[in-house]
Structure 1
Amino acid sequence: MQLSILAAATCVVQLANFASAEPTAKEVAANLELFWSYNRSDPVYPSPKISGLGDWEFAYLKAVEIVSQLTNEEKVNLTVGYSSELTGCSGMIQSIPDLGFDGMCLQDAGNGVRGTDMVSSYASGIHVGASWNKQLAYDRALYMGAEFRRKGANVILGPVVGPLGRVATSGRNWEGFSSDPYLTGSLAYETVVGLQKNVVACVKHYIGNEQETNRSPPGSYGGTSATKYNASVSANIDDKTMHEAYLWPFQDSVHAGAGSIMGSYNRVNNSYACQNSKALNGLLKTELGFQGFVVSDWGGQHTGIASANAGLDMAMPSSSYWESGHLVEAVNNGSVSQDRLDDMATRVIAAWYKYARLDDPGNGMPSNVLEAHDLVDARDPASKNTIFQGAVEGHVLVKNVDNALPLKKPKLISLYGYDGIATDTEIQGASSGFGGFGGDVAAISNGTLYTGGGSGSNTPSYIDAPFNAFSQKAWEDGSFLSWDFASAEPNVNAESDVCIVFINAYATEGSDRPNLADKYSDNLVESVADQCANTMVVIHNAGIRLVDNWIDHENITAVIMAHLPGQDAGRSLVEVMYGKQSPSGRLPYTVAKKESDYGTLLDPTTPEGNVDLYYSQSNFTEGVYIDYKAFIKSNITPRYEFGFGLTYTTFEYTDLDLQTASANQSYLPPDCTIAEGGPVSLWDVLATAKVTVTNTGEVAAAEVAQLYVGIPNGPPKVLRGYGKQTIQPGQSAEYVFDLTRRDLSTWDTVTQNWVLQAGSYPVYVGKSVLDIQIGGALTFTN
C-alpha cells in the first residue's frame, strides 16, 4: 500500500512538472511530505442505489420499469450529455421516444432563464437572501420554474448554496443567498420546493466551492490557462465543519426533495468533488438519503471508472470517459458494476418522471428552446408583483441621518454615477473578467448592475434603471432632474435638494473579486459629497462592499445596499426611497470597516512557493467561524453586522416565551431511520420560542425578527430562526420560532451522529446578530 501511495504521488509530481525543469530529489521529497500532510478523503463504496424513499416510490418504480428495457448503450446515453446546434440548452440528454422519454434539457441559471427572449430577470440569490422572506423565495421559484418549463427546459441549474461565502471576495457569492448556512438552507428549501412544481432543481455546487481562483486545472473546462497550478484547489474540510456549515444547506435542499445535485470543480480533501466517494456515496447518498442524480459541473469530470463508482450519475456537457463505448466496456469487464450503471440511469429517469415529465410524453422536446423558433412568451403576467416585490425587499438601508429618507417631493434632484442608467451592452453577462475603469476595479462602468456575471446571469425583459424610474417620479411630483452619469468629478449644483450617487460592485464566475471597494467609485462619492449637503449613495453590489472611505462624510445622509434586483431595479429603488414601502431588507453577510478585518478569509487561497511543485491547498482551519461568527470570535466590530438594516419606524420586543418538549425521548440521539435529508428525528421540534414585536413608530413596516442560539462548546451565537411580518403603527405581532433537533445539536465525529448536549442554551432575539432586544435560555439535561 505504501508503494502504491508513493508511486501515485510521484506520478502526480512528474505530471505537475512536465513543462518545467526537472525537480531535484529534495524538492520531490518536500512536495510529497507537504502533500500527504493535508487531509485525504476516506473511500466509501459501493455507491448506494436509489430506494424510492418518501414520495419517490412511484417515480422510482416507473424508472426501474423503463431502465429494465434499455440496453447498456442506451443507459449510458442517459448519463452523458451531447451537443446540439438546434437548441439553446446548456446541456442535453438524448430521448428514448419508444419508451416515452423525451430527453432532458438542462439550462442556466438559478436567477432566471439565460440567453433567450421573452423571459424575466429575477432578483439574484444575494438579493433574495437580503429579503429574509421565505414566502417570496418560494413565489419567485414557482414563477421562475414555470418559465423554464415553458421554454422547454427540464432541469434548472440552480439554486446555488455553494459557495456559502467563506471567502469575502469570492466571485460567485452573489449567486447564493447568504454566508450563513441556516439562512441559506431555509431559503434553498423554499426555492427547491417552488421550482420543482415545474422542473428539476439542480442544487449547486457540491461541495466546498468557495473560490473561483484555481477552481479547475489549467486548460480544462472552467480552468485558467494562464496559471501553472497542476490541480484545482483542494477545500480541506474537517468532518464537524462539513456537517455544521457547508453540508447544512445541501441537507435542507435534499430534505425539500431536490431531484439533482451538481458536483463542483474543486477538490475536497484532495479528491475531485465529482469523484469523491466520501462526499457523494457517503454524505449525500447514504447519510442524507439523496434520491436524485448527481451531475458534474460542465467539464468537472476527470476520470471515468473512478467517477462512476464514486457516485457521479451524469457527465456534462459530454464525456470522453464514458461515451464511445468506454463505460459499457467498463461494465463488461467488471470495473463498474451493472448495478451501478442501472442505478445511474434509474436516478436520471426517476427525477425526470417525478418533476419534469411533459404533459404529453412521447411527442419529443418542445421547440421553445430552439435558437430559431416561433416567439414563445414564457412569462406569466401574475409574476409581475412577485418580481417587483422581490426587488423591493432586497434593498438594505444602512444609513439614514435625521430621517433624510424617505424623499418628500424634492424640487431639484441631481443624479450622478455610472450605475444610474441602462445601456445596450450586456457586460453583466460576460463569463469572466472585470471591465469598466481598468486597473484596481470592482465595478462595471456601463450601466445598472441588475445581475452578476457568468453562467448565473439572466436575461431581462427590460432594464428599468434608476434614471428611468426617477424620471417617471419627477414627472409625477413636478421635480426637476439634473444628471451627469459620465463624469468622475462632476460639477454639482449647490442648490440641489438631494444628490444621489449610483455606483456598483461587480462579481462574476471565473474570477474572484480584486477588492471590496474601488477607488474610482469612492472618489466619485466623495466628489459629490464635498459639493452637496444632502448626498445619498446607492450601491448595486454583487457581494460585500466596504464603505468606510466615505461613510462618515458629514454630507452623506443615506446609504442603500441595493444588491442585484433584476429587471425592476429602478422602480423598486424609488418605491423604497420615496417611502411607498419602508425598507425591509437585512444584510445576509457582514460588512467590515476594512479588508484586513476578514483576515485569512478575505482572498482566495493560492499556492505558495514553486507553483509547479505545490498543490493549492485551502485549509478550512477556521471551522464554522466564518462571517459574523469569525467577527464575534475575534472581537472585531464591523461597520454593519449580519442581519442589520434600517426602516422608517421603530420596534419594541417583549414577552419572550421559551418552551421545551416534555417527552424524555427528545433528549436522546436521533434514530437511524433515514428519509430525504437524513434521520427523520432531526426535524423533530424540541423547543419553541415566541416573542411579541410592536411597531412603536408612525409608519407601517416589515420587521425581520431574528433568533440566535448559543450552542455549548460552539459559537456564542448562531442563527436558528427568523420571521418577517408587516406591522401597522401601534400594532403588535407574535413571532414563533420552532427549534428542531438539528438546530440545537452538534455533529459528533466519534459517534458520527448529531448530539444534543446537556446544558444551557442562551437564546437571543433581536434586529441583528449584535442588536439583541430580548433574551433567555433553554436547558437540556441527560
Structure 2
Amino acid sequence: MVSFSPWRILLLSASAAAIANITDDSYFYGQSPPVYPSPPMPGSSSWAAAHAKAVALVSQMTLEEKANITVGYSPLTGCSGETGSVPRLNWPGLCLSDAGNGLRATDFVNGWPSGIHVGASWDKNLAYQRALHMGGEFKTKGVHVALGPVVAPLGRVAEGGRNWEGISNDPYLCGSLAGETVRGIQEAGVTTSVKHYIGYEQETNRNPAGDVASVSANIDDKTLHELYLWPFADALHAGAGCIMCSYNRVNNSYSCQNSKLLNGILKTELGFEGFVVSDWGGQHTGLASAEAGLDVAMPSSSFWGSTGQNLLQAVNNGSLVESRVTDMATRIVASWYQMGQDSGFPAGGVGMPSAFYKPHTPVYARDPSSKEFLVDGALEGHVLVKNINNALPLQKPKLLSVFGYDAPAPPEMNVGGPNDLLGGTWFYGYESELDYLPFLEGLPGTPQIAANGTIISGGGSGANAPAYISAPFDAIKEQAYEDGTSLYWDFLNVAPTVDTSTDACLVFINAFASEGDDRAGLHDDYSDALIKNVAASCPNTIVTIHNAGIRLVDQWIENPNITAVIFAHLPGQDSGRALVQLLYGQQSFSGKLPYTVAKNESDYTNGGKPSLAEAPYTYFPQSDFSEGLYIDYKYFDQKNITPRYEFGFGLTYTTFSYSDLEINKLDGVSTAPTPPPSPVIPGGIASLWDVVAQVTATVTNTGNVTCAEIAQLYVGIPGGPVKQLRGFSKIGVPAGGNVTFEFDLMRRDLSTWDTCSQGWVLQGGSYNIWVGASSRNLPLEGTLTL
C-alpha cells in the first residue's frame, strides 16, 4: 500500500464522493480534486468590450477555425511560438516570444536587468518603467505575447536553476513588482504570459524522462493560497491576459491538465479572463487537458492535432462540448482585443527571422528613452552588504588591482552578436543552453560558475539579447582614465600576484544558473579560493558577485581584509557602467536582498536542495511541501536560525533612523471576519483589495548623503508566521531631512485562507505591526486591532 500524509488525503477529500468505491491506492496517482466543466470567460467590466468583440468574431468562425487557433505551429519567424490564424476573417494569429527579461534571439533590442535584479531594487516605479519600455520592444517586433514575468519559481529551493528569472522569495514583494510588470508591458500593447503556474520550484525531474514522470509538488490548500498563488493573484488583478501552466505535477496531476488549478482556482476563484497556454511541451493529454482548462498548446500538439483536428473529432463524436472550444477561441481573441492589437499592430515577428544572422530587413526596437531606465534598473539592483574602513566609495585611487574571471567582457574569440547570453559568453547558433557550457574546467562536481567573462543574465529561455555589454573592467578603465589611476589586472589565476602598493583590490566572481539544471551548490571552492588568496595579500579587498540566485559567503566574509561585498545580481547590458557609478560614489547603493543569505546550505528548507526521484516513488517523484508557509525568512524565524544577511537587508552610503509610527483602522470599511458579499474580479473577490488600515512612519537621513531608503512593513497574523512582509516603499531622503512613509493594508494582507469555508477570513483581534529597514531590523512596533 502507498502511504499518504494526512494533508494530501485532505486535498483529495473534495472528490471523495466520486471515488468512494475506489480502494486501490494507485488510483490517486495523477489525481487532484476534479472541477468541471471549464467555466467560460467571465467578461467582467474591465474586459467587457474585448469580450464582446471576441464573441462577435469567434461566432463567425467555423469549428475547424476555432480549433486551429488553439494549437501552435512551427514559427516562420523568430517567435518562440505562433498560433493558428483565420485569414478569412483577417485574424492573424499570435506571436509568442521569450523572455520575461527582454526579447530573445533577435537584434536591435536591449538586454534588461533580470527578474532577481528587479526584486533587489524594491522599486515599483522602476519595475513599471522597465516593463513599459521592454514591452515597447516586443510590440515593435510584432510580438503579441511576452512570455513573462516569472513568479514561479518563488525560491523554495535555494539551488533552483531558474530562481534568477523570478523576482523574490517573498510572495508580497514578488506579487507587487510582478503586478507593476504586467501593467507596464500590457500598457505597451503586449499581453503578458505570467508563469509558471504553479509550484514549479525545481529543474530536477521537471519533465517526464522515459518511465519517470515529472516531479509532483504536493501543496496543501492553505499554503497554495497564501504563498504560491499570491503573486499570480496580483498579476491577474493587474490585468494579465495569459497564464502559462508549468511542467511539473501538482498533487499528482500535471499542471496543464489539473482541473482544480485551472478550472477551480484560476478561472473561477480568481476570475481569470485570458487564456492558459502550456509551457513548451507541457501538454500530456488531449481531451483531459481541454476539459481541465488548457486553451493553447505550444509549440504544437500531437494530442489536439497539427491543426486542432482532434478537438474537432472530439466535438463531433460527443466527447467534448463545442462550447469548450468556443471558449478557448474566445479567450485567445479577447486578449488580442484587450491589448489593442486589432489596430496598428506590426506584422507578427517582423524583423525577427528564424535565423537573425541571415539577410533580413532590420527593425529597430530600441527606444532612446529606455536608456535612463536601463541604467537606473542596473544601479538599483546592486546590494551592498559589507563596507568597513570607508572602503567604498573609491576616491581616485593611484593603483587599482582587478582580479577574477567575471571582470572582463566575454573574450573576443567567442562569436559576438545579438543572441542569448548564456554563462558569460555569446551564445550563437545553438538550440539550447545544453549545447554549449562555457564553464571553467576542472572544478569539483557540477560547474557552478561562468568563467568566460562577466554575466548579465542567467541561461535558458529567460536569457535576453543585449545590444552590447558594459563589463565591469570596461567601465573601470574609463574611470581610471578620468582619474589618472593605474590599473593592474589578472583574470586567469586563482592565486594572482598582488602589488603591495595597490590602494584596493577588486575581485569579481559569479554564481551561474540556467534553465534545465538546478545548481550543485550555493558556493564554489574555486571562487572562494580566489577571494581568500587575494585577501591574504591585500588589506582592502572588495568583492563583487554577479549572482543568479543565493550565494553563500561564509568561507571568507569575516576576514578583516575583505572590506566590502556587493551582491550585483544580473544587471543587464549596462552592468559595468552602473557598478562604477556605485563604486565611486556617483550614486549610492539602495538595493536590498529579496532573499535570505544563510551561513550554511543546511539552514535552508530541505538544505536548499531539490527533491529527487526516490523509492517508493522512483517513477513518480514526489516533493512534499511539508514546510507549508515557512520558506526563506519565515523559516529562519520559525527555526530561530541566525542568517548571515537577512531578507530585506542592504547598506547605503548614509544612515537612517525610524520614528513616529502611526496605525489607523479606516472608518466605514467592514472588518468583519467574513467579508460582505463581493463580486469576483480578476485576482479574486473585489473586497480583498479594500484598504482597511493605514500605517505611517517617519524616516530620517542621519548621514550626509542623499539616498533612497526602502522602508518595510511586516505583520504578525495570528496563527501564522511570526511576521510577513505586507508593505514597502522606496523614497529618496535628503541628507539631514526626513520623509513620511505611508503604507496601505488591504483586507487580503491581513487575511488567511480558511480551508473549510474555502474563502479568505480575517482573524479578528490584534495584529502586531513592525516597520523598519529589514526583516530583522524593525525598530518600530505597534498593534492593529480589528
Offset of residue 359 of structure 1: 3.1
Q: Is the 8 A contact 2:727 2:744 kept in 1?
A: yes
Moved more, 316-325 or 409-418: 316-325
Offset of residue 353 of structure 1: 1.3
Offset of residue 608 of structure 1: 1.8
Correspondence for 2:481 among 464, 471, 475: 475
Match of 1:313 in 2: 295
Correspondence for 2:439 among 424, 435, 438: 435
1:573 aligned counterpart, secondary structure: helix
Moved more, 427-436 or 685-694: 427-436
Are 2:579 and 1:544 equivalent residues in the alignment? no
For residues 88-237 of structure 1, what are the structure 2 equivalents within 5 Å? 88-197=78-187, 198-218=189-209, 230-237=212-219
2:741 aligned counterpart, secondary structure: strand
**Cα separation, 2, equivalents of 1:621 and 1:552:** 34
**Cα separation, 2, equivalents of 1:327 and 1:599:** 43
Q: Is the 8 A contact 1:39 1:236 kept in 2?
A: no
1:250 aligned counterpart, secondary structure: helix
Offset of residue 641 of structure 1: 0.3
Q: Taking every aligned residue pair, what percent have the same amino acid on both sides? A: 59
For residues 756-771 of structure 1, what are the structure 2 equivalents within 5 Å? 756-771=762-777
Q: Is the 8 A contact 1:200 1:356 kept in 2?
A: no
**Cα separation, 1, equivalents of 2:405 and 2:323:** 58
Offset of residue 663 of structure 1: 2.8
**Cα separation, 2, equivalents of 1:184 and 1:326:** 39
Q: Is the 8 A contact 1:367 1:373 kept in 2?
A: no
**Cα separation, 1, equivalents of 2:567 and 2:109:** 26
Are 2:391 and 1:404 equivalent residues in the alignment? yes
**Cα separation, 2, equivalents of 1:33 and 1:604:** 29
Are 2:514 and 1:508 equivalent residues in the alignment? yes
Q: 1:34 to 1:550 in 2, by over 3 A?
A: farther
2:537 aligned counterpart, secondary structure: coil
RMSD (Å), alpha carbons: 1.7
Q: Is the 8 A contact 1:76 1:323 kept in 2?
A: no
Correspondence for 2:237 among 238, 255, 260: 255
Are 2:634 and 1:629 equivalent residues in the alignment? yes
Could you tell me which amino acid in structure 2 is paired with residue 368 of structure 1?
A: G
Are 2:344 and 1:357 equivalent residues in the alignment? no
Offset of residue 598 of structure 1: 1.0
Q: 1:366 to 1:125 in 2, by over 3 A?
A: closer
Q: Is the 8 A contact 2:182 2:235 kept in 1?
A: yes
Could you tell me which amino acid in structure 2 is paired with residue 144 of structure 1?
A: M
2:314 aligned counterpart, secondary structure: helix
**Cα separation, 2, equivalents of 1:343 and 1:36:** 30
Q: Is the 8 A contact 2:156 2:605 kept in 1?
A: no
**Cα separation, 1, equivalents of 2:235 and 2:370:** 24
**Cα separation, 2, equivalents of 1:558 and 1:166:** 28
1:639 aligned counterpart, secondary structure: coil
Q: Is the 8 A contact 1:436 1:444 kept in 2?
A: yes
1:308 aligned counterpart, secondary structure: helix
Are 2:52 and 1:61 equivalent residues in the alignment? yes
Offset of residue 435 of structure 1: 2.4
Match of 1:642 in 2: 647
Moved more, 744-753 or 669-678: 669-678
Match of 2:250 in 1: 268
Correspondence for 2:409 among 398, 422, 436: 422
Are 2:582 and 1:576 equivalent residues in the alignment? yes
Could you tell me which amino acid in structure 2 is paired with residue 650 of structure 1?
A: T
Offset of residue 609 of structure 1: 2.9
2:406 aligned counterpart, secondary structure: helix
Offset of residue 358 of structure 1: 4.9
**Cα separation, 2, equivalents of 1:578 and 1:35:** 63
**Cα separation, 1, equivalents of 2:388 and 2:669:** 52
**Cα separation, 1, equivalents of 2:664 and 2:135:** 39
Count matched residues: 738
Could you tell me which amino acid in structure 1 is paired with residue 244 of structure 2?
A: M
**Cα separation, 2, equivalents of 1:615 and 1:365:** 40
Q: 1:364 to 1:179 in 2, by over 3 A?
A: closer
Cα-to-partner distance string for 1:675-694 (whole Å, 9 max, x where unaligned): 11110000000110000101
**Cα separation, 2, equivalents of 1:478 and 1:392:** 24
Cα-to-partner distance string for 1:599-633 (whole Å, 9 max, x where unaligned): 4151100122367x542110111001000000000
Match of 1:224 in 2: none
**Cα separation, 2, equivalents of 1:436 and 1:720:** 42
Offset of residue 439 of structure 1: 3.2
Offset of residue 40 of structure 1: 4.4
Q: Is the 8 A contact 1:153 1:369 kept in 2?
A: no
Give ranges in structure 1 of 5+ residues lacking alignment.
3-31, 220-228
Cα-to-partner distance string for 1:28-70 (whole Å, 9 max, x where unaligned): xxxx988678894100000010021122111111111111111
For residues 452-601 of structure 1, what are the structure 2 equivalents within 5 Å? 452-601=458-607
**Cα separation, 2, equivalents of 1:672 and 1:273:** 29
**Cα separation, 1, equivalents of 2:251 and 2:199:** 10
**Cα separation, 2, equivalents of 1:614 and 1:126:** 33
Offset of residue 559 of structure 1: 0.2
Match of 2:680 in 1: 674
**Cα separation, 1, equivalents of 2:575 and 2:90:** 43
For residues 670-709 of structure 1, what are the structure 2 equivalents within 5 Å? 670=675, 671-709=677-715
1:51 aligned counterpart, secondary structure: coil
For residues 290-309 of structure 1, what are the structure 2 equivalents within 5 Å? 290-309=272-291
Cα-to-partner distance string for 1:407-430 (whole Å, 9 max, x where unaligned): 111110000000001115443355
1:367 aligned counterpart, secondary structure: coil
Moved more, 435-444 or 754-763: 435-444
Q: Is the 8 A contact 2:213 2:619 kept in 1?
A: no
Cα-to-partner distance string for 1:90-130 (whole Å, 9 max, x where unaligned): 00013323323122110000000101111000000000000
Match of 1:367 in 2: 350
Offset of residue 73 of structure 1: 1.2
Q: 1:416 to 1:36 in 2, by over 3 A?
A: farther
Match of 2:37 in 1: 46
Match of 2:66 in 1: 75
Q: Is the 8 A contact 2:70 2:84 kept in 1?
A: no
Offset of residue 206 of structure 1: 0.2
2:385 aligned counterpart, secondary structure: strand
Q: Is the 8 A contact 2:144 2:348 kept in 1?
A: no
Offset of residue 434 of structure 1: 7.3
Q: Is the 8 A contact 1:154 1:356 kept in 2?
A: no
Offset of residue 346 of structure 1: 0.3
Are 2:662 and 1:660 equivalent residues in the alignment? no
Match of 2:417 in 1: none
Give ranges in structure 2 of 5+ residues lacking alignment.
2-22, 415-420
**Cα separation, 2, equivalents of 1:230 and 1:243:** 28
Moved more, 71-80 or 91-100: 91-100
TM-score, normalization by structure 1: 0.92
Q: Is the 8 A contact 1:35 1:615 kept in 2?
A: no
1:772 aligned counterpart, secondary structure: coil
Q: Is the 8 A contact 1:186 1:252 kept in 2?
A: yes
